[in-house]
Each structure stands twice: as C-alpha cells, then as structure tokens.
Amino acid sequence: MTDSYRVGALANDKNKLEGWNRPPVIEPDGEGELLEVAMGPHHPSTHGVFRMDIALDGERVIRLKPVFGYLHRNHEKIGEANSYLASMPYTDRLDYICSLTNNWAYALAVEKLAGQAVPERAEYLRVILGELTRVQNHASSIGFLIQEMGASGTPLMYAYREREKILDLFEAITGSRMMCNYMRFGGCRVDATPAWLDAARKVVAGLPGFVDEVDRLLSSNEILMARTQGVGILRPELAINAGVTGPMLRASGVDYDIRKVDHYSIYDRFNFRVPLGDHWDVYDRFMVRMLEMRESIKILEQALREIPGGPIMDPKAKIRGFRPKPGEAYGRIEAPKGELGFYLISDGGPNPYRYRVRPPSLINLTVLEDMALGENVADVVLIFGSVDIVLGEVDR
C-alpha cells in the first residue's frame, strides 16, 4: 500500500485559482419559510430517474433527501430464480456503462464458490477489457460532470469520440457494444484474434493523447476551478464510515484500491500507482479520475505487451448443468465506480440460494446529503455528478 501519490503534488496546487474568492454564503437568519424543491426524477442532471427532495433557505441547502427505486427491476430475485449462467447477461444491465467489470465481478464470485481456476490468457483478456472499461467510464463521467457545469457538449463529445473507439473494440470481441456478456466461469467466451490485439494496441496508443487533450482543455480552466474547488467536501473519516469506495474514497485521500489490497486476478504483475486527493472536493474527484485513466493506460500497455498464448477456458469449466457444491463466496473487484461485490450462497442446486450485489453507486450515493449541506443549490447538481453513479446499479 505504498504505491500511491497525492494529486496535489501534481496538479491541484499548481492549478490553484488566484485572484478569485468564492461569493460569501448568506447565513440563514431563521426568519421566513424554507423552500422545498423536488429535483427529478426526470431531470437531465440525474443520470436517469432519481429524485432529490431539497429544502432551501435562500440558495443554501438545509436538507437533502435522495429518493430512488424508480428503476428497480428485481435483479437479485431474478438471480436466485435463474441458473448461474443465466444471471451473467443480467449483470450487464447493472452498471450499463461498464458491463465487462460487472461480468468480471460475478465470474470471480462464482469461481470462488466453485473453486474454478482461470487460464493465464483469459486473465490477461479480463484485465485488458476491464481497464478499457475504466478508461471509457472515467472519460464519460468527466464529460458528464463538465456538462452539468454548463459546458453543454464539447468535453462530453470529446469523451464520447474516444469511448466510441473502445466500444468498437468491445463489439469486435464480444459482439455487443454495451451488453457484452463476455466472461464465463473459468475463462472468457471468445478468444482475441491477433488482429483484435493490434487494433487494441492502436487504440491504447491514442489514449494518452486524448487524456492530454482533456487535461489541457479542462484542468486549468478557471471556471471549472471556481465551481469545483472547495465544493462538496467529503471528509475521509465519513467516507470510511459510510463505506464509500472507488475514486470517491481516493479523492478523500484514503489509500484503498482493491487491485492493490485484494491482489485479485493478475494485478500484482503490473506496475501502476494509485492517485489520492488531498482537498477532498469535487475538483479532486475530477483529477483522481483523470490520473486513474493514465494509470489504466499504463496497465493496458503492459498487459497488451505481455499477453501469452494458450486456452481461454479452463478445460474443467462447465457451461451447462453447472452446480457448485454448497457453500458461500464473496467476489469483489475494483470496478470503475468503486468496490463491486457479489455475494453468493449455494445449496448445491443449479441456481444460487442467495444472490446479493454490493453496488458501489448506491453506497457512494449515501453521503450525498453530507456533501451537499450548506452548499448552493446550483452546486448540488455538481456534487451529485461527481459521485458518478448509474441508476441501473443503484436501483437494481
């Protein structure tokens, strides 16, 4: 856990806004009525269907109540009624931006449950696809965050231009751009052809240029700094107590990356570092995501260089009639949004006795009120955007 560095040393202190003071907050005088606003559920800034019941004193947020469940579709109960394999395509629909990491977490949980080994090449393919997923998720989440600040389109379209290349790679190997349904218990479904690996190398070679472009476009932008620095502060103690994970937790300065902590898959072999925030605000979350993209590109370069030949499925793996022995297992990975875990209990039957998802989006959302209290109502949209959620995963 030493392989980490502070964002401030790199960017946040360099990009300190000089000659600008935040407008003073008018303290509530206790007179007059509170204004109650329901933001959402159909609001463009809510990334889906999500409602925030906000009580305002002037512009200041006094109370914030998140209301969700509009997209509930019984994911866990369906998982208990269906066979182990049949739940795999449903996991695509949890966090529909990053279906491959969802597949991975579920496959990892089932492999733990059944004691299933995974061949070397399949692990490399999982790492490559997982890190590509992280890059495209962070790129689009930065794009959305900036869009919520009012820069309608430009940064988001730049992010989507790059995401398109990555989605084409996904389509070429898995057959689908977003609903990939790619990983299997004991390996992966289709092998990567040499042509695909070359295409992936080409895309990865272009990614640093894209991150540099976004960096030049945004990192030192005064409007972005004025809107995000010192806004939505999440204290590390609270973040740890609330179980917040992922870039949110690391932006609060806590050195916790499951790739480093849990040593799952083959992440031990790659040389990468963990960026940490030291101002705990929205700007740090933006910056941590930027730097994580750079680290992911490093992992991708290493993995694409070292990928070995060999089988992609364990010969003992079973597609049909899969019945793990009774027991329980919890598989977790560092998904782009945080710790994504699947908890499974098997009673020896063809379907799990209990199927539980630990969604990072939902748990990161629980600290929304604490971050937003006392801020202006216009900044609530921004703070909410910096959590980076997908409602498919929050509501399940």
Partner 1 sequence: MLGEGILKGLWETAKNFTGSYVSADRLTTVEYPEQRIAPIEATRDFPFLVFDEENRDGGDPVWEAGLRCVACQICEKECPPKCIYIERSKDKKLDYLGKAQYYPARFDIDISVCMSCQICVEVCPFDAIKMDTEFELSTTDRFGGLLLDREQLAKPNEYYHKIHPAEAAGVDAHLAEEKVKADAKAKAAAEAKLAAEAKAAADAAAKATGEGA
Residues of this chain that bind partner 1 (CB under 8 A): 15, 18-20, 82-83, 85-90, 92, 154, 158, 161, 164, 168, 171-176, 179, 181, 189-190, 213, 216-225, 319-320
Tokens found for residue 284? 């740090």
Q: How many CB atoms lie within 10 A of CB 301?
A: 17
Q: 166 vs 387, which CB is nearer to partner 1?
A: 166
Residues 6+ apart with CB under 8 A from 140: 97, 156, 159, 160, 163
What one-character-per-residue DSSP string does 56-74 give? Answer: EETTEEEEEEEE--TT---
Cα distance between residue 143 and residue 140, in whole Å:
5
Cα distance between residue 234 and residue 225, in whole Å:
17
Residues 6+ apart with CB under 8 A from 177: 167, 168, 170, 171
Q: 82 vs 302, which CB is nearer to partner 1?
A: 82
Q: 84 vs 267, which CB is nearer to partner 1?
A: 84
Q: How far is the CB of 52 from partner 1 (least distance, A)?
A: 30
Q: 104 vs 256, which CB is nearer to partner 1?
A: 104
Cα distance between residue 77 and residue 226, in whole Å:
45
Q: How far is the CB of 121 from partner 1 (least distance, A)?
A: 18
Q: 15 vs 101, which CB is nearer to partner 1?
A: 15
Q: 77 vs 216, which CB is nearer to partner 1?
A: 216
Largest CA distance in the chain: 73
